Amino acid sequence: MPSTAFDSALFRDMFGTPEMRAIFSDEALIGRYLEAETALARAQAGAGLFPAAAALAITNAAQTMVIDYDKLRHETEIVGYPILSLVHQLATASGDAGGFVHWGATTQDIMDTATVLQIRAALLLIGRELDNVRAILISLAAKHRDTVMAGRTHLQHALPVTFGYKVAVWLSSLNRHAERLNQALPRILMGEFAGAAGTLASIPEKGLEIQKRFCDELGLHQPPIAWHVARDGIAEAVTLLGLITGSLAKIATDVMLMATTEFGEVSEPFVPGRGASSTMPQKRNPISCELMLAAAKSVRQHVAAMLDGMIHDFERATGPWHVEWVSLPESFLLTASSLANAKFMLAGLVVHEARMRQNLDITHGLIVAESVMMAAAPRLGRQKAHDVIYNACRQAIEQHTQLADILLQIPEIIEALGTPEAVRQHCEPTKYLGLAGQMVDRMIATTTATLPATV
């Protein structure tokens, strides 16, 4: 029976996706090991190290052999690594060419390269889903470019904003993550073939040529030097996932708070039974947001583990490497889950515009106190204007009345602004949005220019 959320029949699609699980399945991993072994054989044959027929035989054997998984598991537990056992099976299946299998390589060469091949496939999936979420946010920001709501700082009303502006801020961080992903690929997608201590000592004459041919076979970058114990590329991949899930969790946190009964400004998409309670029929819990938040918290722990795992000893490590075997697949699964939940939640997000307006007005105009202060400052001076408006705000709060009504009783404010109507205009939240609309337009244009045409 499955024993973790990642392979549980109950929870696995809440903490991962089928596509990402397929990338990190045992079968896919062994396939990557064989892909690396056969690429190495072809590279070495191409460099004249042994006959091309031998490389062909090894490649054919890898594609047709029936792997004894029980034997592979048993021997992996004994040796501590799966490569030796797999090499034995591949060599046997390759017949006379079997003696050329794994020539000059070390276990970590094959495992590291296989890991990079997995990461490449996984990052391609992450990039695609990130683009999908960005496209959804473009539509949401455009639709609500002018939907006015309360901006909040320290959980208190601050100034009016628009919901489109809030969405555009969410979008900005995801744009940067897409940029980071593309920039990181050359640093992460490096093959590894360097031998026992990284010096290619067993094939010195043609080692670097074979290394380049090997990387070219797999479509990976040739490393400038062995990275057996320089794990920054792998750590960067997981750190990037931590950044992505962190930004998605920020979105989820905003949505969850806005969906609280007291705010009531948004709701997750309605699906019968989703977010229901076993005892409270009225409940509609923000399940997607909760899963996005859980993913971020979990990936954050893996980021810490991967950074700690960078501290390797000498030319081959005694244990930090093994941390990657746990943290890497789980981080990718959690990130895929978070992106899937973000797609679902944001694509169907219900925005309650009337409630946003109601909440905007609950402080009786106090949310635009700055608007009046800045309008009066040229005549009164900024500090004097601040003090006068501050006292007016206190009166409005104590008397539970509109700020505009208090201000209209202050002659110096009317004189500073010109007319009573000007005072009322400056107390209207929709008139004090700054450049929110222009910022939304700019973010939409910037993002649209970077998205693939197929999104």
Residues 240 and 329 in one domain: yes
The tens digit of pLDDT for each residue in 105-125 reads: 999 999 999 999 999 999 999
Residues 99 and 114 in one domain: no
Does residue 176 form part of some domain? yes
Residues 289 and 372 in one domain: no
**Quick one: pLDDT at residue 176?**
97
pLDDT band at 282 (very low <50, low <70, confident <90, very high): low
Q: Which percentage of the chain shows pLDDT scores above 70?
A: 98
Does residue 201 form part of some domain? no
Residues 263 and 164 in one domain: yes
Is 277 among the residues known to form the active site?
Answer: yes
Residue 75's domain comprises 15-105
pLDDT at 274 over 80: no
Domain with residue 312: its CATH number is 1.20.200.10
Residues 137 and 119 in one domain: yes
Residues 139 and 48 in one domain: no
Does residue 114 form part of some domain? yes
Residues 180 and 265 in one domain: yes
Residue 205 DSSP symbol = T
The tens digit of pLDDT for each residue in 28-85 reads: 999 999 999 999 999 999 999 999 999 999 999 999 999 999 999 999 999 888 999 9
Domain with residue 61: its CATH number is 1.10.275.10
pLDDT band at 275 (very low <50, low <70, confident <90, very high): low
**Quick one: pLDDT at residue 294?**
96
Of 154, 157, 228, 278, the catalytic one is 154
* Helix 287-308 vs helix 232-258: crossing angle, to nearest 10: 160
> Can you give 18-39 as a three-state secondary structure string?
HHHHHHCCHHHHHHHHHHHHHH
Instruction: Report the Cα–Cα distance between both ends of the chain, in Å, rounded.
Output: 39
Give the count of domains, the chain. Answer: 3
**Quick one: pLDDT at residue 273?**
62
Q: How many residues does the chain have?
A: 455
pLDDT at 296 over 90: yes
Q: Residue 373: CA atoms inside 13 Å, Cβ hemisphere, count?
A: 19
Domain with residue 370: its CATH number is 1.10.40.30
Residues 303 and 379 in one domain: no
Residues 99 and 115 in one domain: no
pLDDT at 277 over 60: no
Residue with token string 């040739």 = 222
pLDDT at 361 over 80: yes
Most confident listed range (3-12, 181-190, 376-385, 415-424): 181-190
Is 154 among the residues known to form the active site?
Answer: yes
Residues 311 and 330 in one domain: yes
Of 139, 202, 277, 322, the catalytic one is 277
pTM of the model: 0.93
Residues 345 and 419 in one domain: no
